[in-house]
Amino acid sequence: MTFKERLESGKFVVVAELQPPKGIDLSEVHEHAERWRGRVDAVNIPDLQNAIMRLGSLSVCALLKGKGIEVIYNLSCSNRNRLALQSELLNVSALGLKNLLLLQGDHPSIGDHFEAQPVLDLDVIGLLGAAKRLQEGYDLMGNDLKGKPVFFVGTQVNAAAKGHILDLEVMDMEKKIRQGVDFFFTGSIYEPGLLETFVKKVAHFKVPIIVSITLLKSVGMARYINKHVEGASIPDSVIDLLLKASDKQKTCIEIAGDFIRAAKPLCQGVQIIPLGWENLVPALLDQVGL
């Protein structure tokens, strides 16, 4: 069953993020993907995440797809103009890839090439619109295509937003759905109460929500995420658990497992972001019975 088929059938999905290497040695990528085979419904491959220069999402997705692994290709607005973005979407389709995660992207100033210039010719709404137009058989200038791509399109939403920011997020979701979004990933979230508030607010959209959780390695990491990652919200109770933990990996799995069990009735899937602890993903899935 494909990722699209599983979501459309209403089944709970499990996604794991797998970062491309900084270089061309793909041995660890293949090792982790094989370890997850049969355990996750799709592997999400970021593209220049955090503005760090790495191997791109496209080649990793194509190689893993060739091994029979369901993948989600990522594309952001930060580093390409509208010509390159549309061409890249056609490349994706020509290689038989259908699952997309379209994002605004990160400003180069936060990455390892801080002098690079951002492009941002289109914003994420514009990129979603481009994907929609291509599937209708036209480019952004109205020129006909020879053959139409077919995509299953996702984007990101801030489920930890509060107050008027949450209202703006809901309005933004509605715009994105009008541009053809089929599913949403949330940013990393650790508070079931915040998630429940968000889900109730957007239930009328009837679009699948996949909740992301990052595996927390340390108190320092948790505090950094709270300070620098937009939409992330790690409560003091979780930070206290990390502070007292004698076995960081065991505590990390327990924190993630407790959240996934609480979140499961509220959403249609979970994305696990391991950030170097890819080997813990099967143990976490065992703990929560997935």
Which among 113, 120, 125 has a CA at the least distance from the CA of 78? 120
> Domains in the chain and their CATH numbers?
3-288 (3.20.20.220)
**Whether the Cβ atoms of residue 234 and residue 243 lie closer than 8 Å to each other:** no
Residue 209 bridge partners (DSSP): 184
Computed over every residue of the chain, the mean pLDDT equals: 95
DSSP-H helix ranges across the chain: 3-8, 27-36, 57-66, 82-94, 124-136, 163-178, 192-202, 219-228, 236-244, 248-263, 281-288
Per-residue pLDDT tens for 181-195? Answer: 999 999 999 999 999
**If you ran DSSP here, which 8-state letter would residue 112 be given?**
S
Neighbours of 273 (CB within 10 A): 21
Ramachandran class of 100: left when φ > 0, alpha when ψ lies in -120 to 50, beta otherwise: beta
Q: Read off the pTM.
A: 0.96
Average pLDDT of the segment spanning 162-191: 95
pLDDT cut 70: percent of the chain above it: 99
Q: Dig out the tokens for 246 from the structure.
A: 């004698």
Lowest mean pLDDT among 127-131, 195-199, 234-238, 284-288: 234-238
Per-residue pLDDT tens for 63-86? Answer: 999 999 999 999 999 999 999 999
Residue 269: pLDDT above 80? yes
Residue 115's pLDDT band, with cuts at 50, 70 and 90, is very high
Residue 231: pLDDT above 70? no
**Whether the Cβ atoms of residue 186 and residue 210 lie closer than 8 Å to each other:** yes
Residue 284: pLDDT above 90? yes
Residue 219: pLDDT above 70? yes
- Quickly tell me which residue has 């419904």 as its tokens: 41
Q: What pLDDT does 233 receive?
A: 75
Residue 266: pLDDT above 90? yes
SS in 3 state form for 171-186? HHHHHHHHCCCCEEEE
In this predicted model, which residue has the larger pLDDT, 223 or 199? 199
Average pLDDT of the segment spanning 265-270: 97
Neighbours of 39 (CB within 10 A): 14
Average pLDDT of the segment spanning 196-220: 95
Per-residue pLDDT tens for 22-31? Answer: 999 999 999 9
